[in-house]
Chains A and B, each alone.
Chain A
Amino acid sequence: MILVPASEYAYLLPEIIVALLGVLLIVADLIWPAYDEATGRSKTWPAYLAIVGLIAAAVAVVPLASVSKTLFNGIIQIDPLAAFFKLLFLGIGVLVILMSVNAVPKFTRWTAEFYALMVWTILGSMLLASAAELFTIFLSLQLTSLPLIVLVGYAKRDPRSGEAALKYLLLVLVSTSVLLYGMSLIYGALGTSTLSEIGAALAREKTINPIVAMGLVLLLTGFAFKITAAPFHYWVPDAYEGAPTPVTAFMSVGSKFAGFALALRVIVAAEAVPLNWHLIFGVIAAISMTLGNLGAIRQKNIKRMLAYSGIAQAGYLLVGVAAFSSWGIASLLFYTLAYGAANLAAFAVVIIVANAIKSEQIADYAGLSKRNPLLALALTIGLLSLAGFPLMAGFMAKFYVFLSAAQAGLIWLVAIGVINSVISAYYYLRVAFVMYVSEGPAEPMKIDPQAALALCVAIAGVLFLGIIPQAAMVAAARAAASLFGG
């Protein structure tokens, strides 16, 4: 029995806060039910309690942002990279919950449990950011996935939601089995499960052990499912379309970034393996970008369009991985911020519009510029940022990613990325065209104030990152440097 000093638990204070927050939500709901049987309405306090709790956890992360420490005999790694991801997940959680305050009671009466599950999936993501050992990775990954399966199927009366949940469940089963198989192969071949020792063992071997290589491939396949990279992306459009929109909003960024948090440490450990990682990730990136963008062109439902766009964006993120340098990882981290802000802005608008007109069809966005000019402007800014237009976060993000890829000599990948940006501009702009040019109803649209606040925060983030990217880039560079032991 190895003893663990109690003081090490202090470093997990943010995770402890989030775990207790979920328990608190459920217990409080038992004592003061959020759903009022008499009126048939839900109170909104669980959402605000969740937001306050997540912000408290974020405050607890801040002092850890400059600490590098290995805990519990090497299974948990506290470093600027982990802090970066934890703040990212908490920020996404706050924004998603804020934009769904009024949307959640529309499809369920069990609101407190909804937020509790969301809080726990965030907890899993946070642990993934720190996990430095295979079994911890597996457990954290399950903690992110299992609540999400329930959340995807939360709109019980909508058959699409149930179908999506079943598909997501099957996906989770397949991808975790693949992952687990990969882990057992690596453990069997190298006799250790901590990433640092795996890295050291791989560095000692000069040749490729086929069992280890197989294990790594399976591990990375599991990770490709999670980040919605091609060719493991077929589940994404159905799951995103069927899930309640707040859950889709969370999955499109939170769940995807959790996959990256998991992958980065594994990739660095596997760096010593003499494979051409530039090429492997470059090819996956190129296929994801191309299939995602081509798929998005034909979509009529905005959630499906954003699903395909998310597959393409995973490709751009992977360009940063393909560069395989400290710069590349830093640009990937910056990209997560930029994509997170822009995509949440887009989803906030989708939620607001769905609340007002009960539709997710792009054609029903016609005339939005007259019904509510600011809402149309916000969605335009979000989409232009996703397309990578200057003055918006998306441009700086793409710029950094392409710069790092060019620096690594991946000119072909930059060329494919650039061509893809042109394709993507086509379908993002089409939504703007529908909003501004197509004739539609002109009566003013009611705005959900909480979602509007979340939208303002996201848009502010898009513009801030696009115009003054320096501070965020410095933070990303520091986080990336910690990954490479700098």
Chain B
Amino acid sequence: MQWLLAAMIVVPLVGGIALSLIPVSLSRFVRPAALVLSGAVLAASAWLWYSFDATAGGMQFELNLPWIPGLNTAFHLGVDGLALPMVFLTALLTVLAVVASRSIDDRVGQYFTLLLMLEAGLMGVFVSLDLILFYLFWEVVLIPMYFLISIWGGANRSYAALKFFIYTLAGSLAMLGGIIALYLATGAKTFDMLQIAQQSAVLPRSVQIAIFIAIAVGLAVKVPIFPLHTWLPDAHVEAPTAVSVLLAGVLLKMGSYGFMRLGPTLLPEGFKALLPLLAILAVISIVYGAAVALMQTDMKKIVAYSSISHMGYVMLGIAAGTTAGFLGAQVQMFSHGLIAGLLFLLVGTVYERTHTREISAFGGIAKVVPILAGTMVFAAFASLGLPGMSGFIGEFMVIVGAIQPYTVYAVIAAFAVILTVGYLLWMVRRVAFGPLNKDRADMKDLTLSEGLSMAPLCLLIVFVGVYPQALIGVMSTSVEALARLVGR
């Protein structure tokens, strides 16, 4: 079974490239083929979850092949409780993104090639246990994302795609600098994360801080943490729906995952030293994201800024440095993947029907499209953290985890939920309720296939909300080990 993880990267990559070779005359078969490929990966990740031993610590399903012996870098893969939920989330959202890409009609083959390449890159980031491999997949994600936005995006796509690319590239090159510094600083001369983890703890504190700052810049751009967030609203607004789903659902998690994967294990002292700063920036992100969302009139922008705010909770949990904080961050990452995915799917369907996302262009649509409006209300409640849904569990755990080290911040974060309630309910009220806008009188309700792409997300949101132990149980052993390294 050691080849399973490699297969989950190779199948979408090679299969995806094969899709681009399908002649244009047969392009109607491309999406079903992409569905089969991504479905296979989802099945594999479900099997991975099923056979994962939650009580055993350390890495499972490890694969370690020599790659560049001269650098001591290896094709080293593995999952633990930190990576497993992300792997599953990636596989799930890719399938839904493929389903949601039904309106793509320009260069269909290339579109699905890039989408599956994106999945391969994301999988690679979450299962890599070698820093060079990690960086490689990290960058591989950039290329399909750039082309997906710049070819199939909205009117201002060229600017948005380039801004996304340059921003994240600048960040990741800083990270590469950090990785090189780490390689040279530890005497081990290896890029293997597990080996470095055993050696780097002895590095002087100042060295650890310097290296971790370089790495953290790359991670923070991806999350994104205030003030490195400005690429996100542009990219989201211009990206096609399915790409927004993956961008908000999984791509942002690369950053927060990186903080937990690299920080406590590789540079514990540097990580600890930066936590207070991270906490401040996290709280600013929470409040700032929510406040800006409150002022938007474009629904997609509201969801985009809400992502900044919600990722702020993730970062606050990480900055707490405790088991509860880490667990909360992990749950919030998973939950935000589901909820943001659902919200972007909804905004996408609305836009497909009406070609506008301006709130003022709607009103009272619940009367004509009850299922669509109902799902929107559901998603809004999930996002604002209604108990019984996954969003509540994540934010609650983060605040509980953060209350002890950062009482003030935790209180601010808790009260920031009021802002979230504000922008979401305000949006829902003006879009779905009130007098019906006459332009929307002939709007169509959700089709079966649209409903099917949203149903799994709704079910999982409730399932995690009601029975969070299903998620926490898988993560807790690995997360406790991380928290012990931080020692707070």
Chain A positions within 8 Å of B, measured between CB atoms, are: 369-370, 373, 384, 389-391, 395, 399, 402-403, 406-407, 411, 414-415, 418-419, 421-422, 425-426, 429, 432-433, 436-437, 468-470, 473-474, 477
Contacts and interface: CB of A to CB of B under 8 A. Distances in A.
Contacts of A419: 170, 173
Interface string B125-167: 0000000100110011001001100110000011001100110
A160 B482 CA distance: 65
Interface stretch (B77-85, B174-182, B200-208): B174-182
Given A418-B173, A418-B174, A433 B158 contact: yes
Contacts of A403: 180, 183-184
B162 to A, nearest CB: 7
From A403, A407, A433, residue with most partner B Cβ within 10 Å: A433
A414 to B, nearest CB: 6
A363 to B, nearest CB: 14
B135 A473 contact: no
Contacts of A425: 165-166, 169
A53 B183 CA distance: 45
A407 B147 CA distance: 36
Given A406-B184, A470-B69, A390 B136 contact: yes
B68 interface: yes
A433 B69 contact: no
30 contacts: A369-B107, A370-B107, A373-B20, A384-B143, A389-B139, A389-B143, A390-B135, A390-B136, A395-B139, A399-B132, A403-B184, A406-B177, A406-B180, A406-B181, A414-B180, A419-B173, A421-B173, A425-B165, A426-B162, A429-B146, A429-B162, A429-B165, A433-B150, A433-B158, A437-B157, A437-B158, A468-B68, A470-B70, A474-B70, A477-B70
A376 B166 CA distance: 21
From B140, B147, B174, residue with most partner A Cβ within 10 Å: B147
Nearest to A473: B70
Interface string B58-81: 000000000011100000000000
A429 B136 CA distance: 18
Contact of A436 (B151, B170, B183): B151
Q: 4 closest A-B pairs (Cβ-Cβ)? A: A390-B136, A418-B173, A390-B139, A422-B170
Contacts, number: 75
A402 B177 CA distance: 8
A406 B151 CA distance: 38
From A369, A391, A425, A474, residue with most partner B Cβ within 10 Å: A425
A469 B181 CA distance: 21
A403 B189 CA distance: 12
A426 B163 CA distance: 10
B149 to A, nearest CB: 10
Contacts of A395: 136, 139
Contacts of B151: 436-437
Contacts of A384: 143
A436 B136 contact: no
B217 to A, nearest CB: 11
A127 to B, nearest CB: 31
Contact of A422 (B161, B166, B181): B166
Given A390-B136, A414-B177, 4 more contacts: A390-B135, A395-B139, A433-B162, A473-B68
Contacts of B150: 433, 436-437
Nearest to B146: A429
A183 to B, nearest CB: 38
B177 A415 contact: yes
A470 B74 CA distance: 12
A422 B169 contact: yes
Contacts of B132: 399
A281 to B, nearest CB: 19
Contacts of A477: 70
A39 B177 CA distance: 60
A437 B165 CA distance: 16
Interface in B93-150: 107, 110, 132, 135-136, 139-140, 143, 146-147, 150
A176 B20 CA distance: 52
From B146, B150, B173, residue with most partner A Cβ within 10 Å: B173
A459 B451 CA distance: 44
A60 to B, nearest CB: 29
A218 B67 CA distance: 44
A407 B146 CA distance: 33
A373 B165 CA distance: 22
B146 to A, nearest CB: 7
A231 to B, nearest CB: 26
Given A436-B150, A470-B68, A426 B166 contact: yes
Contacts of B70: 470, 473-474, 477
B146 A391 contact: no
Contacts of B157: 437
Contacts of B169: 421-422, 425
B413 to A, nearest CB: 33
Contacts of B158: 433, 437
B390 to A, nearest CB: 34
A483 to B, nearest CB: 18
Contacts of B20: 373
A422 B177 CA distance: 13
Contacts of A369: 107, 110
From A411, A422, A469, A473, residue with most partner B Cβ within 10 Å: A422
Contacts of B170: 419, 422
A408 to B, nearest CB: 10
Contacts of B165: 425, 429
A202 B150 CA distance: 58
B176 to A, nearest CB: 7
A477 B20 CA distance: 39
